[in-house]
Chain A
Amino acid sequence: MRVLVLAEKENVAKPFVDAMKRKGVKASYLQLLKINLVSKHKNVQIKALEENIPKYDAVFLQARTDLAPFIEPLIDILYEQKIFCNAKPGSYYIAVNEPYRFVNLSSNNIKTPKTLSTGSIKNIERVSKKISYPLIAKSFIGKNVQQSMLVNNDNELNNFVKSIKTKVDGFVLREFIDDCVVSCVVIGRKVFAIDRRNNNKCVLELEKGRFYNPKEEEKENALNATRACGLEIARVDLVKGRVIAVEPEIPIDVFNKICSENLEEHVANFFIDKINEIGVKKTVGDDLIEIANKLSKTMFSRFLK
């Protein structure tokens, strides 16, 4: 059983590689930056200087969503070559684009706060009539958030509009649900959660949150949101059970500390179960060993020696 852990930095990959090795999986790390994708006639390959990707049964990918233009062709190749990956084709395009993510979640009947997106600053006033205050207003350049603000009334909305001096590509106005965020990590069917609340006050930092046992409905929403976004492992943020964010990267250190868990062990178990379900791939090396074993039991054994 072989798993390749693809990440930008070794310290991100190491806990997963170690956990898989402890369970007898041949796991190794490859720096994402070292990869070159090559498309020749009828032959699409993932190449790196010292690794051969197709020999793996599965790939565990931990990468930033803004690498989507590179990740998408990569996971498409893995999908075509039937190598299991925790992110399916299309998942990074969903994760990196907020308006698209909300349309995708809503199309899959997943509860989200009411969200309105538009491309023109002139539209904002009209759009805001369809949603009640308080709301979160965001402006975007490309797919990146340029500015984000909590808006309580028309005046504050005007201030938000006035504060935009550069050319932006779009705006999102989202219903603000007044409650603390529950951050979840989904690994297969398992959900681990942190309530971002401290001394009855909501906290911005995940590190200041506390262990939380999610309700059944919250669990289902987190699980369904993960699947709807084409992921098997994800971080999902909820407010009053409604999904506000889905990301493919999981912050294991904070979750391990607050939830007293070993998420890397859960990831390793998830991959072992998945590979067993799909079936372990044989490599040319495996075939040669098998042939050698068979021959060793025959008259050719002395030639092999």
Chain B
Amino acid sequence: MNNKVIQKKEKISFLIIGSKRFKKSTAKAMVEEAKKTFEHVLFITIDKIQIQTSDSGVGLFYKGRNLLSYDAIYPRLSSSDFLLGEAVIKAIEQSAAYSPVNLKAYQITNHKFYTAQKLSNVGIPGVLSTLFISPKFSKLAVKETGFPFVMKLISGFAGKGVVLVRDPSQMNSILDAVHLFEEFICTQQFVKSKKPGTDVRCYIIGNYVLAVKRISAKGDWRSNLSRGGSAKLINPSQEMLDIAQKSAKVLGVDLCAVDMMDKNGKWVVIEVNFMPGPFMKYLGDMVVHEWIQFIKRKVLLKKKKELRKEKKAEKKI
């Protein structure tokens, strides 16, 4: 018998805050899965929230409902939500609700260079990256990466804003265009993978790691599934596990995805995803199910601890 169907609903209220650019299929799958597990589930996009600051503190409201009273809140936000995203996650951090992510991770993972910097600081293998303000003074950066290199908009996602630069003339015209739009860019050494167009995504779910191999669509050197391509589950090596878990630990998050690729026989981190898609086309509801079950375990544990504390305090009285 399918144990997912008969499982008991927990007295837990769960809130998912979606990005303005949320994917309907992901949101639907998450809500359906959550409703099987939690007594009360709400999904809203960030633009519907009211953020209130006054002498009585900070509040998040939706149609008069106090959102900070939920037991668990999972903000799934992208760089396009920054204006309200930082405020909302900060407010969640001040509340008693459990959240599998945090503000620092939101800021870092939505910045390609900052991610590379934070990970390489603790010795996690990554790709040589540079960041500069003015294209006029980009000589040093290019000296470091050499040609060809990958140029990325620091807040780009799903493979958008990523260009492979092969020579100086191509670089100058791209830099001029980027500067015109006042975008910050990061350059990264181009890593020629043993198997071009293939990389591995490790979903971090607490201590559990689910590894997926991604293969790009024909003719595209990027392997983002949103650009076509396919995916399949693999058994992660110890090296992959170590890198993925250490990356999540540095960022202090329970849920994320670490994308890595093979560089000369060694795995290096390409980026960390704050709001990973669950690859439902290839993995069904497997990832979503694991997310929800993990959040349930965390909230139950938290409630248990709080109850123990209360009892201790009562005894003292």
Determine whether the beta carbon of A142 is less than 8 Å from that of B83: yes
**Which of the segments B41-49, B238-246, B270-278 contacts the partner chain?**
B41-49
Interface residues of A in 60-104 (CB under 8 A from B): 67, 69-70, 72-73, 76-77, 80, 90, 93, 97, 99-100, 102-104
B182 vs chain A, min Cβ distance (A): 8
A67 vs chain B, min Cβ distance (A): 7
Interface string of B222-239 (1 = CB under 8 A from A): 000000000000000000
Contacts of B55 in A (CB 8 A): 111, 114
**Which of the segments A28-36, A202-210, A265-273, A294-302 contacts the partner chain?**
A28-36
Tally of contacts, chain A with chain B, CB under 8 A:
166
Asked if A107 lies at the interface with its beta carbon under 8 angstroms from chain B, I say yes
In the docked arrangement, what's the CA distance between A140 and B46, Å?
15
Determine whether the beta carbon of B50 is less than 8 Å from that of A123: yes
In the docked arrangement, what's the CA distance between A80 and B114, Å?
13
Determine whether the beta carbon of A76 is less than 8 Å from that of B117: yes
**What are 12 contact pairs spanning A and B, CB under 8 A?**
A33-B136, A36-B131, A40-B144, A41-B120, A47-B140, A69-B184, A72-B111, A73-B111, A93-B86, A99-B86, A118-B47, A140-B83
Determine whether the beta carbon of B154 is less than 8 Å from that of A97: no
Interface residues of A in 21-56 (CB under 8 A from B): 32-44, 47-49
> How many residues on the B side are at the interface (Cβ–Cβ under 8 A)?
53
Determine whether the beta carbon of B117 is less than 8 Å from that of A103: no
With contacts A33-B133, A76-B117 taken as known, whether A169 is within 8 angstroms of B138 at the C-beta atoms is: no
Select from chain A the residue with minimum beta-carbon distance to B46: A119
Determine whether the beta carbon of B53 is less than 8 Å from that of A118: no
With contacts A99-B84, A140-B83 taken as known, whether A37 is within 8 angstroms of B137 at the C-beta atoms is: no
In the docked arrangement, what's the CA distance between A107 and B49, Å?
18
Select from chain A the residue with minimum beta-carbon distance to B137: A34
Secondary structure of the A contact surface, majority rule? mixed
* B114 in complex: contacting residue of A35, A36, A76, CB < 8 Å: A76
Asked if A258 lies at the interface with its beta carbon under 8 angstroms from chain B, I say no
Beyond A43-B120, A69-B154, A119-B46, list 16 extra A-B contacts (CB 8 Å).
A33-B134, A33-B136, A34-B137, A36-B138, A38-B141, A39-B130, A49-B139, A70-B132, A76-B114, A99-B87, A103-B90, A107-B58, A107-B90, A118-B84, A119-B20, A143-B82
Asked if B121 lies at the interface with its beta carbon under 8 angstroms from chain A, I say yes
Determine whether the beta carbon of B82 is less than 8 Å from that of A117: no
Determine whether the beta carbon of A100 is less than 8 Å from that of B48: no
Asked if B107 lies at the interface with its beta carbon under 8 angstroms from chain A, I say yes
Asked if B168 lies at the interface with its beta carbon under 8 angstroms from chain A, I say no
Interface residues of B in 69-103 (CB under 8 A from A): 80, 82-84, 86-87, 90-91, 94
Interface string of B20-39 (1 = CB under 8 A from A): 10000000000000000000
With contacts A103-B53, A114-B54 taken as known, whether A39 is within 8 angstroms of B140 at the C-beta atoms is: no
Asked if A289 lies at the interface with its beta carbon under 8 angstroms from chain B, I say no
Determine whether the beta carbon of A107 is less than 8 Å from that of B114: no
A173 vs chain B, min Cβ distance (A): 10
A209 vs chain B, min Cβ distance (A): 27
Asked if B57 lies at the interface with its beta carbon under 8 angstroms from chain A, I say yes
> How many residues on the A side are at the interface (Cβ–Cβ under 8 A)?
53
With contacts A42-B123, A106-B57, A119-B20 taken as known, whether A93 is within 8 angstroms of B130 at the C-beta atoms is: no
Asked if B113 lies at the interface with its beta carbon under 8 angstroms from chain A, I say yes
Asked if B52 lies at the interface with its beta carbon under 8 angstroms from chain A, I say yes
Asked if A130 lies at the interface with its beta carbon under 8 angstroms from chain B, I say yes
Asked if B286 lies at the interface with its beta carbon under 8 angstroms from chain A, I say no
Contacts of A118 in B (CB 8 A): 47-51, 84
* A114 in complex: contacting residue of B50, B53, B129, B139, CB < 8 Å: B53
Determine whether the beta carbon of B114 is less than 8 Å from that of A72: yes
Interface residues of A in 130-170 (CB under 8 A from B): 130, 140, 142-143, 169-170
In the docked arrangement, what's the CA distance between A90 and B86, Å?
11
Contacts of A70 in B (CB 8 A): 131-133, 184
* B53 in complex: contacting residue of A33, A76, A115, CB < 8 Å: A115
Contacts of B114 in A (CB 8 A): 72-73, 76
Contacts of A73 in B (CB 8 A): 111, 113-114, 117, 131
A109 vs chain B, min Cβ distance (A): 8
Select from chain B the residue with minimum beta-carbon distance to A99: B87
Select from chain B the residue with minimum beta-carbon distance to A121: B47
Contacts of A41 in B (CB 8 A): 120, 123, 125-126, 128
B43 vs chain A, min Cβ distance (A): 15
Determine whether the beta carbon of A104 is less than 8 Å from that of B132: no
Asked if A278 lies at the interface with its beta carbon under 8 angstroms from chain B, I say no
* A39 in complex: contacting residue of B50, B80, B126, CB < 8 Å: B126
Asked if A120 lies at the interface with its beta carbon under 8 angstroms from chain B, I say yes
A171 vs chain B, min Cβ distance (A): 10
Determine whether the beta carbon of A36 is less than 8 Å from that of B48: no
In the docked arrangement, what's the CA distance between A116 and B91, Å?
13
Interface string of B121-160 (1 = CB under 8 A from A): 1010110111111101111110010000000001100000
